[in-house]
Chain A
Amino acid sequence: MEAVYIDKNIDLVNACRKGSRPAQFELYKLYERAMYSAALRIVNHEAEAEDVVQEAFLDAFLRIGDFRGDTTFGLWLKQIIVNKSINCLRKRKVEFTGLDGVEIPAEESADQEELELRVEEVKAAVQGLADGYRVVLTLYLFEGYDHEEISHILKISEVTSRSQLMRAKMKLRNILEKKGARDEY
């Protein structure tokens, strides 16, 4: 289905095109949380996430002429954030592949319903994942990328992307289960 984007911030974006500082500040206020949170999920480091956010907003405001309006400003900005975050990880020489040790089980069905999920716990658990797992899981679940897109952006194969995601989810469940078990006693 072809998505039709109605950007509610179109007036602010147009003001930004003319270089209006108040409009830029408005957009910053609107998006700082979502963008910082997304950057933080990927780089997992507060100072680096802030650098990413600063660079991304600067890029967005300076290259606002390149924004054609075929998506919303928010999605466009998010793309910049994701790209810059991944670049940041690259500088840190993070390997997106080659994490092994966890065998992929055929199917796991039991116990699923018993797990009570809370936002803060899931967030903490995601932060506890290794870089390679965390990035794939974040891009897939939080940013809604498919495996093809992930393979492009991380320069890995689609198969690797799928297996990394599978392992990441298992690991995440393990962490959450352990946490749940600790809470019970």
Chain B
Amino acid sequence: MSTKLEDFIRDNKREFDTDRPSAGLWNKIEAELDKKEQLKKKHKRMFNIQLWAGIAASFIVVLAVTFLYVIPAKRGRLSVADVNPVYAQKQVKFVSLIEQKQDSLQAFAKTNPELYRKFKADFEVLNKTYEGLTKEMAGSPNQQMVVKAMVRNLEIQIQLLNQQLFIINEVSQYKKENSI
């Protein structure tokens, strides 16, 4: 139905487009375009600020990582006290004991150079293990255990030195008796 009407409209579509907006409409559109362009420029400048803020932020992150992880890691290697203060006291005591005993042993070095060299080598094996534990401590998930092992190591060092002193004493005693 109404095909005539449909055809008429379809054929004369352009004739229907006779209405025009008021003359000032373009000025309104132009003003809006200007406003948007200015906003865009401002946005661009803002973007630059954001860029610099981003650079600053990443710099801060790098600094933070340095302070939070790298420096404590270095420090952690030095102090047993951070992990366990009781063991730290023991450590100090043992280390001074070991130094004393090493000095005593040193006294026999001249009379028994061969034996002293062998004892020294034995001691170094233990000492190497101790140093390895010191390095391991900072990165270890169970620092308590490492510290425990370190103190145990020092105890063994003392026991070893005690035995060495005993033996070297015996030997020099024997030598002295024989030389008389």
Contact = CB atoms under 8 A, between A and B. Distances in A.
B63 interface: no
A90 B26 CA distance: 26
Interface in A57-103: 57-58, 61-62
A179 interface: no
A24 B33 contact: yes
Contacts of B12: 119
A170 interface: yes
A173 interface: yes
Interface stretch (A5-13, A108-116, A128-136, A152-160): A108-116
A62 B20 CA distance: 23
Given A119-B12, A141-B9, A142-B9, A38 B17 contact: yes
B22 A50 contact: yes
Given A62-B36, A122-B9, A170-B2, A53 B21 contact: yes
A37 B1 contact: no
B1 A32 contact: no
Contacts of A41: 16
Contact of B18 (A37, A173, A176): A37
Of the four ranges (under 10, 10 to 19, 20 to 34, 35 or more), the interface on chain A belongs to 35 or more
Interface residues of B, number: 28
Contacts, number: 88
B10 interface: yes
Contacts of B174: none
B5 A173 contact: yes
Interface of B is mostly: helix
B13 A142 contact: yes
Nearest to A24: B33
Contacts of A24: 33
Interface in B92-123: none
A151 interface: no
B5 A172 contact: yes
Nearest to A173: B2
Contacts of B25: 32, 50, 53-54
B176 interface: no
Contact of A117 (B4, B13, B28, B32): B4
A33 B25 CA distance: 12
A57 B29 contact: yes
Contacts of A40: 19
B177 interface: no
A61 B21 CA distance: 18
Given A113-B4, A117-B5, A122-B9, A61 B19 contact: no
22 contacts: A19-B37, A21-B33, A25-B26, A25-B30, A32-B20, A32-B26, A33-B17, A33-B19, A36-B21, A37-B17, A40-B19, A54-B32, A61-B29, A62-B36, A115-B4, A117-B5, A123-B16, A141-B9, A142-B13, A169-B2, A169-B5, A176-B5
Given A169-B6, A170-B2, 11 more contacts: A28-B26, A36-B21, A37-B18, A58-B33, A107-B1, A117-B4, A117-B5, A122-B9, A141-B10, A142-B13, A173-B5
